[in-house]
Amino acid sequence: MSITKLDQMVALVKTKPKKRLVAAYANDAHTIEAIYHAIEQNIVDATLVGDKTIIKEVCSQLHFDVSKFNMEHEPDEIKAGSKAVQLINEGKGDILMKGLLSTDKYMRAILNKEHGLMPGPKAVLSHATVIETPTYSKLIVCGDVAVIPAPDLNQKIAITNYLIKIAQALEIQKPKLALLAATEQMLAGMPACVDAALIAKMADRGQIKGAFVDGPFGLDVAIDKESAEIKKLNSPVAGDADCLVFPNIESGNVFYKTCTKLAGGELAAMVCGAKVPCILTSRGDSAKSKNYSIALAALMAK
């Protein structure tokens, strides 16, 4: 039976072997709180890289037992990111997590050609988000909302495969994936439509496996059965999508923030394509969302 709630995902992860998490510049209360709860849930063991004095002060304020964490003292933001990546490369962690350092510095540490986490020059790093909203009957697995500004065809293929793998890990046997554009009509002058049609045809011919893949779709026909019926779209994906591939970062970012800030949604998020799952949430995201993200990364970690 497929997972339809983020809490169900956490319950599933608890049945798996515990993973080792390394947090880069983990000086903030939200990150520490999320990791502490994941330790209490027996999902991870954790190493916090950051300013030990600040970490201890935060733990004291939250009434947390600081001995639950391993700690590596590095008060410099950039060096903390590099140190966290180094620990992963030394085999001391299965998951990397972003703390208080900015996204660009976090990504630079991952992408460093000599000491980063990229498995090869052709690897595609992409952000994937799992969103739960009160108004949709199941989870939405989507990307990219935070890393690739304008994905080309090959990057969209990589995103498609990442989302399928995540959906399958959520026990969705054959997920339904919609490639989004401004319209469901095939307009040759709109690159999003062309890319969507090409990827859908690749799936038809077995070049992309494990999912029903269709597009181009407008968002309405991807997730709303009535809209799909009115527009007479005959597709196993229409009106019932599990996964959404966005044409660009603007559309994806607006979608996920609308779900969380206006629709009362919660999320889990991670970066795919590196040697290990890399948790990338906004510094303003709740501790609960960060805890869900740890569970997602633990689910996907080898």
Both tokens of 285, joined, read 């995201």
Residue ranges of the chain whose pLDDT lies below 70: 283-284
Q: Which residue has the tokens 């969302």?
A: 289
Distances (CA, A) of 4 to 130, 175, 177, 214: 10, 12, 16, 22
Model confidence over 261-286: pLDDT tens digits? Answer: 999 999 999 999 999 999 997 766 77
- Per-residue confidence (pLDDT) for residue 281, from 0 to 100: 79
In the three-class reduction of DSSP (H, G, I as helix; E, B as strand; rest coil), residue 132 is classed as: strand
Q: Extract the runs of DSSP E, i.e. beta strands, from the chain.
A: 19-24, 44-50, 70-73, 95-98, 126-132, 140-143, 176-180, 212-217, 243-245, 266-272, 278-279
Q: Which residue has the tokens 């990057």?
A: 155
Q: Which residues pair with 154 in a beta bridge?
A: none
Q: Which contiguous run of DSSP H or E holds residue 26?
A: none
Distance of CA 16 to the CA centre of its chain: 19
pLDDT digits 0-9 by tens, 62-120:
999 999 999 999 999 999 999 999 999 999 999 999 999 998 999 999 999 999 999 98
Q: Go through the domains of the chain in sequence order and give each one's CATH number.
A: 7-122+274-300 (3.40.50.10950), 128-261 (3.40.718.10)
Angstrom distance (rounded) from CA 57 to CA 213: 49
